[in-house]
Homo-oligomer: A and B are copies of this chain.
Amino acid sequence: MTNVKMVRNVLDKNDRLADDIREMTATSNTVLFNMMGTPGAGKTSLLEALIPELKKDYQIGVIEGDVATANDADRIAALDVAAAQINTDRFGGSCHLGSEMVKPALEELDYQDLDMVIIENIGNLICPAHFDIGANYNIAVLSITEGADKPVKYPLMFRESQLAIINKIDLLQHLNIDIDEMLTGIKDINSKIDILQMSAMNQNDGVELHKWIADKMD
């Protein structure tokens, strides 16, 4: 009983801070995207493909979440946009971002001057979906190499997201994977979710994702 109550207190505090974040960013007209998915789904590569085009129209900031290393923030900073790294090592190796980590990172980025902040959450198909971090939109990224059954085995992330990206679609031809099973699995969990099949490595594929994001900025 005591355990359950303690977990609830932590979640309550997280959710209150998430509401604060939504209020702060609404005031400054900054839209927050929360990108989630397993390690190696290709989240950082998607951002590297997307940002050079997006930054022509928007002031962008990126928050990178990782257990260890600043590898991803370095990759994003190389694109000449504001990037902040959160390492959860100092939060006990936490497997997800929480609002108490995101709020100071937004302040570090001077979010008031930005049109959008994209948060790349910790690589993990489970835990990040349990924690509201004040984002306006959640994006679930999975790689086609992960297998067709992953959405039904890890449903919460797809339930909580407005967009699912099936990445590395160029590898489908080398795999024994039924893409229709994956698509049906996602839609069965969340009939309203948008789905994009793409490869971060293929420049043309980025156009649809760009459009999806721009649509949310109107």
Mark A residues whose CB is within 8 Å of B. Answer: 2-3, 6-7, 10, 38-40, 66-69, 71, 92-93, 95, 122-127, 130, 142-143, 145-147, 149-150, 152-156, 168, 171, 174, 176, 201
Contacts and interface: CB of A to CB of B under 8 A. Distances in A.
Chain A contact surface mostly? mixed
Contacts of A71: 149, 152-153
A39 B38 contact: yes
Nearest to A123: B125
30 contacts: A3-B6, A3-B10, A6-B6, A38-B39, A38-B123, A38-B125, A39-B125, A39-B150, A39-B153, A39-B154, A40-B145, A66-B153, A67-B155, A68-B155, A69-B149, A69-B153, A71-B149, A71-B152, A71-B153, A95-B95, A95-B127, A123-B125, A123-B126, A123-B150, A123-B153, A124-B125, A124-B127, A127-B127, A143-B145, A174-B174
Given A67-B126, A145-B171, 7 more contacts: A6-B6, A38-B125, A71-B152, A123-B125, A123-B153, A145-B145, A171-B174
